[in-house]
Structure 1
Amino acid sequence: MHVLLFPGQGSQFKGMGGQLWRDYPQLTQMASDLLGYRIDKLCLEDPDNQLRMTLFTQPALFMVQALHYYRWREKGIAADAVMGHSLGEYSALLAAGCFDVETGLRLVQQRGLLMSQARGGSMAAVLGMSADALRTLLDERGLGQLTLANYNSPTQLVLAGETQLIEAAAHCLSAQGIQCVALNVSGAFHSPHMQAAQRQFEIFLQGFDLNDPLIPVIANATALPYPKGQVGALLAQQITSPVLWVDSVRYVMDQGNFTYTALSAVAEKPCTQALGKFVEEIRTTASTPAAHVDYALPPTDAQRLGSQVFRERHGLDYAYVAGGMFRGISSAALVQRMAHAGMLAYLGTAGMPLEAVEAAVLDVLSTLKPGASWGMNLTPDTTYERGEHRLVQLCLKHGVQRIEVSGFNTITEPLVHYRIAGLQRDAAGNIQCQHRILAKVMSLAVAELFMSPPPVYWVNSLLAKGLITPDQALMAESVPLCDDLCVQANPAGPTLGGSLALIFPSMTRLRSAMINRFNYRETITLGAGGGIGSPEAAASAFLLGAEFVLTGSINQCTVESGATDCVKNLLQHAGLHDIAHAPNSEMLNDRPKLQVLHRSSLFAPRANRLLELFNQLDSLEAIAQPVRTKLERDFFNQTLSDIEAQRLNVLKDKSREREIQHVLTNPKVRMKMVLSAYWHHGLDRAASGLPSDLVNAQVHTSAAIGAFNNHYNQDAGFNWQSRHIDQVAVMLMTEAARQLRETRVFMP
């Protein structure tokens, strides 16, 4: 395996680049225009002594290495893998095709700016001491807060931390005859001191679409190849993570026949000093294990959150779910992007015609490989006759292997049909389930229904209709209706306003009791949803024992969401208190309330006003004329008589004659039919995409969107055009894992 190596900051010198600047005039001019100064003059002459400054060093080194790589590539030499030391990792990613040179320069320019602004920390190189010995010494002298920031070789390490502690460590080491050299840097790089810079860089990275490497790139933060979809996340993580150079070199050595070329800052010769010496020393001490910092967060920590059972069951990299949002807000594009990133998402089908749902399913299938992890949402849908049956038939027709069910208070025949139709036996006679169900519930009573085997009466009905086999009916006695159950404490839209901290422990006990009662072979995993909009909320859910987290509100405000741009513009500025409660469309006080966006919309107070009228009056005719005029003008934008005629025509088209007679002979029912049209009107206004219609828009959301905005908008105005669904997910999981790690919470 031949590996191309790129050095990091510290390898710069006046005159670097040489003839390369003249050989690549267009790239030289591009870089100079982007940076606002002559990059070639800086590198060749350094007239203002700026080349040593981080703000200038990083873009300069990246450009020289980029030009050197292009010259090296022109010789027709190929590499099997690439790796770079700290800043050099950007050159390695360029060589692997993750971005073009202009994008790389923009990233490095921002990285250099953020790192140059870091204050209050220092770094020092320690020579001639192993990592284990150094860590032991630091702990003994009360200097355990210092970070081992660079593992350059088995006997060259770099410390980072508060300046006072670095000075104390240097004095202690020098007194024992150990060489400790202070580094001329402005901050404690590659340590937790850089968290503010990392957060700002994470936001900056959202504006870029980064490709997966074409050849392996060994990451500084993990000493492993970059996984799929993780370029941005690992680049951000690199700012605070130690540079695991020893482990990185040993990884490629383990692949067999390791050879390398180290590209320096000057094209005429290879770098035979720093990187070469590191590699050769690592070669001669290959049997010595490298030490890792316990609290340093490898990106795999985010992937280890939650349940391994859940991840393996669905073939996921993260225990993270983007829940289905109605009317296609959870779009095909959203589902596809999440599947590519190793996470699970469900198409939002509620309120959509069957033809539109099928088109979305076919869209997903056209871009994802067979067996990819994705699913479809199913709700008690009355949009068309036998809606649940038709949706289940669509799932069976196209081989949809996962459904997410929400809004059910009882078990229906279509749910049972979908579940049992996927049961089969393996060669050993063990039950295998091909159809997975994730149930979103808000109460213990409903949870118990889904954690029980399918009701016998529905099983017998399906068997009598020939829709399942006798053996499938027998197997149904041994499996729960759902595989995964998400406890929704306070979700967007219909909500009971519960507390996750109160209901989740009870749900955990119920789950244990149900598994023991029915002796299930597979466990039912429990997840948490509702209000998951910040790393703190996700971390809290995992602390309660959640085996996965499910998000909703924050997903509406992403590029891939099917929400209109007008709605996304409102959501990206929503605060924690821009959420209101409205009555449900049935106008019954014992039904869950709706959580809706109150910013720029009067839907909630107007819906509450309609509920007051419904409770106070007995008929439409009892509404005073001034009030009726206001309703028709401001609420509905049409007369109540026209609304009545439209709703009756819908019932007529569906041949619901008995329902029509019931409406016409019962003034109160007639009144509810007309006034409840405002809820449909509100959904249509949200979907219209017209700013003038938003005053009556019904946008289901929760305070999670306010928490997300509050967390990520502090520095750089993280607008929705920069929010990609998978990147939002990785950010939440990564920061949640970091918080758990920093508080020393054990993660299995």
Structure 2
Amino acid sequence: MVAYLFPGQGSQHAGMGEGLFDEFAELTRTADKILGYSIADLCLADPDKRLRNTQYTQPALYVVNAFNYYKRVAEQGRPDAVAGHSLGEYNALLAAGVFDFADGLQLVRKRGELMAKARGGGMAAVLNKTEKEVRDILADDGFDDLDVANLNAPTQIVLSGLRSDIERAKDVFEADGSCQYVMLPVSGAFHSRYMTEAQGAFAEYLSKFDLRNPDIPVVANVTARLYHAGEVWDTLVAQLTSPVKWSESIRYLLGKGHDDLVEVGPGRVLTSLTRNIRQDSEPLIVDEPLTSDEQTRTTEVPASQIQSQQSPIGRADANAAGDRRDAAAEPVTNSATNRDLTAAPDLGSGSFKRDHGIRYACVTGGMHHGVASSDLVAAVSESGMLGFLGTSGRTLGQVDADVASLKRRLDQGRPFGVNITHNPGMPGGDDDIVDLLLRHEVRVVEAAAYLSITPALVRYRLAGLRREPSGRVLARNRIIAKISRPEVAEKFLSPPPAELVERLRAEGHITGTEAELSGELPMAEDLCCEADSGGHTDQRPSLSVLPGMLRLRDDAMAKHGYAGRVRVGIGGGIGTPDAAAACFVMGADFIMTGSINQCTVQAGTSDLVKDLLQTIDIQDTGYAPAGELFEYGARVQVLKKGVLFQARANKLYELYKRHGSLDELQPADAEQLQKRYFKMTFDDVFAEVSAGLSVSDVEKAERDPKQKMALVFRWYLDRATQQAIAGAEENKVDFQVYCGPSLGAFNRWVEKTKMADWRSRHVGEINRGILEGAATLLDRKLAEIGTD
């Protein structure tokens, strides 16, 4: 289940809310009228440097948090629960319908004004000490006038009090060097006894407002438990002088099954805190009495009432119908099988999800030429899945910029990976990208099209390898190997080749320790069987390839005795809940989706391509020669409907096989290619190709007419991809678009919903919908066993 978290003071920055004030122009005008100044100017430019002043900070954050929430709800629907840190709690209550935007802003404005009047106070963060250790130091050293204000994480405690006492405590806490003591740039002793005067005035002001009961669960800062009916006024008044129990609030949400915690607002402060809380503590399981509303959530549901997977409902639709919220808090039981209903996060391997730091056993593949864009990968990551950045066909500079952007955007809080597609015609071609990934500390790669293990791949796998005190070998970097052939799978299931390891050690690329430990782990801890996918494919059906690879994995585990189990997933052909459910039933530890993702808002291809893709059916793809492996006869699966690329590319390959040079072509064929396919002469095409080759490669092609012909024909294939991504409408018939039949199946699944239009398809939402549908389908099928 999903919970939205709203940040408080400390997350503000000039430029926050860019684009939102125009999008929510009417609410912006409402805010300006209430505040008496331009909220957009304050947030975007801060010309008078007031954004760090509490009186202005709180309204600014409230507005930007609210706009971010409205935008997210429009795209992904309402959450199952909400919480907010200090000021952010007002946004949580807004999301739960306790008050409207205007009333909430008036409350926040008054709160900020009253808190800003409290002068002479100070606050400090104590890092690397638990709450008990902090309280013991305060008691032992006579700091009775300091209060614990924020319990942000298990070892991040914030103190509040008079500035003189806050400053005096610094030397005491730092005396033994075991912690950090960071003075915070505030002028008030917030969330402490020193806010009592402000509390009284705020209570009087608050009594003028009509506060409704929350309509979705809201976790209160004061109690780290849910608000209940009639408690809003008391809790908000108490919040001003009470500590923010943030760490316990997050643990409470996790204990209630809200595994997907999404920060909604500027910055990533809460994302970082949540990561630390997850790492340093366990979910809080609370045995508490159920309210009458919660009682209804545990009612058994007959199997006949379980939602059919044939009606794809996104989170927004489900919430509009009210069924997501009603099922939020407690497990629902299938009376036909006397077991809890399966949820999407239950599918797949638990160790796969834990090791990769994701909620769902779902991976999105690194589609070439940046179709798997940084926007797409970020959206996948933020939805609790693992996305791979597409690098094939991209320059090293472009990949570097994309990775840097993802690192900033995800703030180390959520995982992502990068694809490496091997080109056998370029030995050592993966060295540069591995250097880049090691420099950026990218922890997982998708290794595609590898027929053998390369030195660069070994170097990536072994970097940072160490033995833990328990004796277990710990790998810092992980590889998910895409495979379809048993002989290739065996190489990734084996330890790194000893000869490569020794060579890398001798050349100084790995340490002696890394070399010594390399024999204790496989090249890849995860294999993804590639079935009938878009792009490069061996056209193997998943019903055949997955069982064979699972047996191969079991044999390798028995042979090598690895400490951890190698996980085996499947990709190719997965576009509906039915397909995903079948994969999990066959034993897949995870699924990988591809074709369906390129027809989403976040995909890095043209709108023209997406318009074509949203109309295809399962029969509308075919096979064509692969550009980078043209001479070898390798094939890729591509879009067939609405374009001529497949037919033209196959004709080029047939001509290449039958002739030794361009000069040997029949005159009619040569004319057709130059006038209709290339729209350029062969000489002009070769000149353009030569501009990107080394002198030696050009000379080689001039000496070898067959090689020259291959270069000219490959130019058409490469250009067809570039034109498709760019959306060059005048060359639409020549678009090359990697695609498998799974997208046709997906289109049929959503044809009577808003997702029939790709502009309503968001990559996180469609993958989560497939998983949720698969879970529902599995329960329904289980309930039907023996009933007919």
Partner of 1:701: 739
Asked if the contact 2:493–2:553 (Cα under 8 Å) also holds between the matched residues in 1, the reply is yes
Partner of 1:110: none
The Cα offsets for residues 424-472 of structure 1, whole Å up to 9 and x where unpaired, read as 2223342111101000011111111111100111101110111111111
Partner of 1:477: 519
1:432 aligned to 468, 474, 491, which one? 474
Distance 1:364 1:732, change over 3 A: same
Partner of 2:706: 668
1:716 is displaced (CA, Å) by: 4.1
Asked if the contact 1:485–1:527 (Cα under 8 Å) also holds between the matched residues in 2, the reply is yes
Asked if the contact 1:351–1:383 (Cα under 8 Å) also holds between the matched residues in 2, the reply is no
Segments of structure 2 that go 5 or more residues without pairing to the other structure are: 1-25, 31-93, 108-204, 218-225, 233-290
Distance 1:389 1:307, change over 3 A: same
Asked if the contact 1:305–1:737 (Cα under 8 Å) also holds between the matched residues in 2, the reply is yes
Asked if the contact 2:686–2:711 (Cα under 8 Å) also holds between the matched residues in 1, the reply is yes
1:336 is displaced (CA, Å) by: 1.1
Segments of structure 1 that go 5 or more residues without pairing to the other structure are: 1-25, 31-62, 96-149, 162-190, 206-231, 252-289
Read off the aligned partner of 2:319 and give its amino acid letter: L
Alignment of 1:230-241 (within 5 A): 232=316, 235=319, 239=323
CA distance in 2, matches of 1:374, 1:242: 30
Partner of 1:744: 782
Partner of 1:105: none
The Cα offsets for residues 240-287 of structure 1, whole Å up to 9 and x where unpaired, read as x79569x76xx9xxxxxxxxxxxxxxxxxxxxxxxxxxxxxxxxxxxx
Partner of 1:131: none
Read off the aligned partner of 2:460 and give its amino acid letter: Y
CA distance in 2, matches of 1:400, 1:584: 29
1:372 is displaced (CA, Å) by: 2.3
Are 1:376 and 2:431 matched, yes or no?
no
CA distance in 2, matches of 1:236, 1:509: 45
1:404 aligned to 409, 429, 446, which one? 446
Read off the aligned partner of 1:380 and give its amino acid letter: H
Distance 1:297 1:492, change over 3 A: farther
Are 1:361 and 2:361 matched, yes or no?
no
Are 1:570 and 2:612 matched, yes or no?
yes
- Aligned-partner SS, 2:636: strand
The Cα offsets for residues 47-95 of structure 1, whole Å up to 9 and x where unpaired, read as xxxxxxxxxxxxxxxx9x959778997763799994459xxx9x99xx9
RMSD: 3.8
1:160 is displaced (CA, Å) by: 8.3
CA distance in 2, matches of 1:399, 1:497: 34
CA distance in 1, matches of 2:606, 2:645: 17
Read off the aligned partner of 1:584 and give its amino acid letter: A
Asked if the contact 2:685–2:712 (Cα under 8 Å) also holds between the matched residues in 1, the reply is yes
**Percent same amino acid among aligned pairs?**
31
Are 1:687 and 2:725 matched, yes or no?
yes
- Aligned-partner SS, 1:672: helix
Partner of 1:728: 766
Partner of 2:368: 326
Partner of 2:434: 392
Are 1:533 and 2:571 matched, yes or no?
no
Partner of 2:49: none
- Aligned-partner SS, 1:651: coil
Are 1:414 and 2:452 matched, yes or no?
no
Partner of 1:199: 311
2:566 aligned to 524, 527, 540, which one? 524
CA distance in 2, matches of 1:237, 1:472: 55
Distance 1:336 1:295, change over 3 A: farther
CA distance in 2, matches of 1:506, 1:385: 30
Alignment of 1:68-147 (within 5 A): 76=206, 82-83=214-215
- Aligned-partner SS, 1:403: strand
The Cα offsets for residues 297-319 of structure 1, whole Å up to 9 and x where unpaired, read as 98861101010010011111000
1:521 is displaced (CA, Å) by: 0.6
1:549 is displaced (CA, Å) by: 0.2
Read off the aligned partner of 2:572 and give its amino acid letter: G
Read off the aligned partner of 2:724 and give its amino acid letter: A
Alignment of 1:443-522 (within 5 A): 443-522=485-564
CA distance in 2, matches of 1:155, 1:558: 37
Partner of 1:146: none
The Cα offsets for residues 369-392 of structure 1, whole Å up to 9 and x where unpaired, read as 325211100011489895311100
CA distance in 2, matches of 1:292, 1:622: 70
Asked if the contact 2:495–2:522 (Cα under 8 Å) also holds between the matched residues in 1, the reply is yes
Read off the aligned partner of 1:527 and give its amino acid letter: G
1:604 is displaced (CA, Å) by: 0.5
Partner of 1:603: 645
CA distance in 1, matches of 2:575, 2:305: 25
Distance 1:400 1:153, change over 3 A: closer
- Aligned-partner SS, 2:574: coil
Read off the aligned partner of 1:417 and give its amino acid letter: R
CA distance in 2, matches of 1:324, 1:197: 27
1:296 is displaced (CA, Å) by: 10
With normalisation by structure 1, the TM-score equals 0.64
1:704 is displaced (CA, Å) by: 0.6
Partner of 2:691: 649
Asked if the contact 1:351–1:381 (Cα under 8 Å) also holds between the matched residues in 2, the reply is no
CA distance in 1, matches of 2:358, 2:296: 39
The Cα offsets for residues 380-410 of structure 1, whole Å up to 9 and x where unpaired, read as 1489895311100001111111111101111
Read off the aligned partner of 2:680 and give its amino acid letter: Q
Partner of 1:631: 673
Aligned residues: 524
CA distance in 2, matches of 1:547, 1:233: 29
CA distance in 2, matches of 1:695, 1:413: 41
Asked if the contact 1:586–1:676 (Cα under 8 Å) also holds between the matched residues in 2, the reply is yes
Partner of 1:552: 594
Partner of 1:585: 627
Alignment of 1:46-57 (within 5 A): none
- Aligned-partner SS, 1:550: strand
**More displaced, 584-593 or 557-566?**
584-593
- Aligned-partner SS, 2:720: helix
- Aligned-partner SS, 2:749: helix
Read off the aligned partner of 2:700 and give its amino acid letter: H
CA distance in 1, matches of 2:524, 2:554: 14
Read off the aligned partner of 1:199 and give its amino acid letter: S
Asked if the contact 2:418–2:446 (Cα under 8 Å) also holds between the matched residues in 1, the reply is yes
Alignment of 1:206-245 (within 5 A): 232=316, 235=319, 239=323, 243=326
